[in-house]
A and B are shown apart, each in its own frame.
Chain A
Amino acid sequence: QVQLQESGPGLVKPSQTLSLTCSVSGGSISSGGYYWSWVRQHPGKGLEWIVYIYHTGRAYYNASLKSRVTASVDTSKNQFSLKLSSVTAADTAVYYCARGRTGDYGGFDIWGQGTMVTVSS
């Protein structure tokens, strides 16, 4: 079955760029009927959707973060990525990648385990 795994540094300095990658295994990122998303969860708090991207590279961003976020997909590596620039302590969170479904299905059906990113000098 399809699995997602986030990777990237757990510590990022303020004002730097956070870079994360989600590796997709057990299936192709180019399969129809899906989109690929990033969601974050601040410590002890709620969930914030960041972006979703199709395998074509078409991306849709949360306007609250859009000026700092870039999403990309690499179909040859079966991965998609997130870059968040000019980070501050407010970006400290667990970052999840997730698979969203289109068509007859809905919701995010598969999630990575999440990766904790701390912004600190």
Chain B
Amino acid sequence: DIVMTQSPDSLAVSLGERASINCKSSQSVLYSSNNKNHLAWYQQKPGQPLKLLIYWASTRESGVPDRFSGSGSGTDFTLTISSLQAEDVAVYYCQQYYNIPYTFGQGTKLEIK
């Protein structure tokens, strides 16, 4: 199984500041046939299901604010929120869909400083 490891486990950032969350996979999730990283990022607020933010490691889902961006390739990825808003307080997860079993990171809790 591909192990997804996020860092940090929790993060406190001031409103308007940049927040970065890292995700490392135990093996590459770059699929050679389509040259795409099979990596997604999700946001989960308390009592709610996950919301897809980013897929293919860097493609923003329709309707997601452009302050959210994804980067990285192979085994190392980053989710960046360029200017933190109060509504961004949540737990963020990365997930690989390169092969089964699909696996998720342990989550990063983002709070306001």
Contacts and interface: CB of A to CB of B under 8 A. Distances in A.
A interface bracket (residues with beta carbon within 8 Å of B): 20 to 34
A63 interface: yes
Interface string B76-109: 0000000000000000010101001111111100
Interface string A89-114: 00000001010110001111101111
29 contacts: A46-B104, A46-B105, A46-B107, A47-B50, A47-B95, A48-B104, A49-B103, A52-B102, A60-B100, A62-B100, A62-B101, A98-B49, A101-B55, A105-B55, A106-B36, A106-B40, A106-B56, A106-B59, A106-B97, A107-B40, A107-B42, A107-B52, A107-B97, A108-B52, A108-B95, A109-B55, A111-B49, A113-B48, A114-B49
Interface of B: 36, 38, 40, 42, 48-52, 54-56, 59, 61, 93, 95, 97, 100-107
Q: When A and B form their complex, which 7 residue pairs have the shortest distance between CB atoms, in order from nearest? A: A107-B40, A111-B49, A107-B55, A106-B55, A49-B102, A47-B104, A62-B101
